[in-house]
Amino acid sequence: MQRFILFRFGQAILAFFAVSIIVFGLARISGDPLDTLLSFEAGADPEQRAKIAAYWGLDKSLPEQYFTFIWNASHLDFGNSFKYRLAAADLIKDRAPNTFMLAGLSILVATLIALPIGVLSAVKKDSPLDYLGKITALIGQSAPPFWLGLLLMWIFAVKLGLVQTSGKGGFTSIILPAISLGLFWVAALMRLVRSSMLDVLDSEYVKLARIKGLAEWKVIWKHVFRNAAIAPLTFFGLILGNLLLGSVSIETVFQWPGLGFLAYEAVFARDFPLVQGIVLVFSAIFILVNFIVDVLYAYLDPRIRYE
């Protein structure tokens, strides 16, 4: 088990370094950061240009810039934002709780709806409830979250006036963004739970449990669901990572003050330090969550440890 964890940990470190190289390279390919800085400095002459480049470390070679960047990033120092003239780490720290709050509530919405419907669809296979679940899954995965967000905003905020249209206020301000972000994953998670349950329901040990006379609810929730939960558990890592990435569109639609909306503003301002910092934070969270899921997966299914 320790060997498996160390191997997965090594893969996670390599993946993070690969992401850091890609992020650093794309930031430079899109244009010279110095040109962006000079756009904030009216009438900069060559001497001022050299001073600005030296101050921001842009006068060094690209390998030196990268190693400086990754060393500072390991200490949670992403440099200063070009646009806000504040430490990028502080801006990320201020906005991160709002994004985690939105992602957490979205996962809760997806889980509370998808798990029971997925289980019931599998137990009541080919029943009206199963067909209703399939239709719900089809609609849920066909509707883009940002379109659903605009539709919900128009109905519940504009027409009914039950919640505010944008920004962060009371608890009602997070309801529409969380539902818009979570409903897409309701469909995906529900289908995965259903298919996993159907695979386990045909197992011999489930038939044996029923022959022994165990109550049906014990067979379903204690024996079937426990073993069928392995695949959905793995999928949760992808859900969290995609919720963070999907938050860019949803937070922009609702102007929710999180990392997604901050990334949107930073991209349009060509704020390289802030964009790099946000992408690295998103990547680190995604890699960490998947590493944890891999370890939990190995505990649930010992066969995984030897693959």
pLDDT at 54 over 70: yes
Q: What angle do CA 179, 185, 186 make, to 5 degrees?
A: 75
Distances (CA, A) of 16 to 9, 160, 248: 11, 46, 21
Q: What is the DSSP string of 87-129?
A: BHHHHHHHHHHHHHHHHHHHHHHHHHHHHHHHHHHHHTTTSHH
Residue 44 lies in a domain: no
Of 14-18, 39-43, 54-58, least confident by mean pLDDT is 39-43
pTM of full prediction above 0.85:
no
How many independent structural domains does the chain possess? 1
- The type of residue at 258 is G
User: Could you give the CA distance from residue 154 to residue 279 in angstroms, rounded to a whole number?
Assistant: 31
Residue 12 lies in a domain: no
Give the mean model confidence (pLDDT) for residues 118-131.
80
pLDDT of amino acid 300: 65
User: Could you give the CA distance from residue 114 to residue 123 in angstroms, rounded to a whole number?
Assistant: 14
Give the mean model confidence (pLDDT) for residues 258-283.
85
Residue 10 lies in a domain: no
Contacts of 36 (CB under 8 A, 6+ apart): 82, 270, 271, 272
* Residues 57-98 pLDDT 10s: 777 777 888 888 888 888 888 888 878 888 888 999 998 888
Distances (CA, A) of 135 to 51, 132, 145, 182: 62, 5, 17, 17
Give the mean model confidence (pLDDT) for residues 247-266.
85
Contacts of 118 (CB under 8 A, 6+ apart): 133, 189, 190, 191, 192, 193, 194, 197
Contacts of 194 (CB under 8 A, 6+ apart): 118, 119, 121, 122, 133
For residue 189, the domain's CATH number is 1.10.3720.10
Give the mean model confidence (pLDDT) for residues 288-295.
80
Residue 295 lies in a domain: yes
Structure tokens at 46: 């060559």
Closest CA to 109 of 71, 56, 75, 152: 152
Asked if 227 contacts 197 with a C-beta cutoff of 8 angstroms, the reply is no
Is residue 100 very low, low, confident or very high in pLDDT (cuts 50, 70, 90)? confident
* CB contact burial 252-289 (16+ within 10 A = b; e otherwise): bbbebbbbbbbbbbbeebbbbbbbbbbbbbbbbbbbeb
Residue 126 lies in a domain: yes
Distances (CA, A) of 258 to 33, 94, 247, 251, 275: 24, 8, 8, 7, 13
Of 129-133, 177-181, 241-245, least confident by mean pLDDT is 241-245
Domain that holds residue 236: 88-306
User: Could you give the CA distance from residue 48 to residue 59 in angstroms, rounded to a whole number?
Assistant: 13
Of 14-28, 48-62, 176-190, least confident by mean pLDDT is 48-62
By residue count, the chain amounts to: 307
Q: What share of the chain is helix, strand, coil (3-state, %, to 5)?
A: 80, 0, 20
Is residue 45 very low, low, confident or very high in pLDDT (cuts 50, 70, 90)? low
User: Could you give the CA distance from residue 286 to residue 103 in angstroms, rounded to a whole number?
Assistant: 13
Give the mean model confidence (pLDDT) for residues 127-138.
78
Indicate the DSSP class of residue 166: S
* Burial class of 42 by CB neighbour count within 10 A (0 to 12, 13 to 18, 19+): exposed
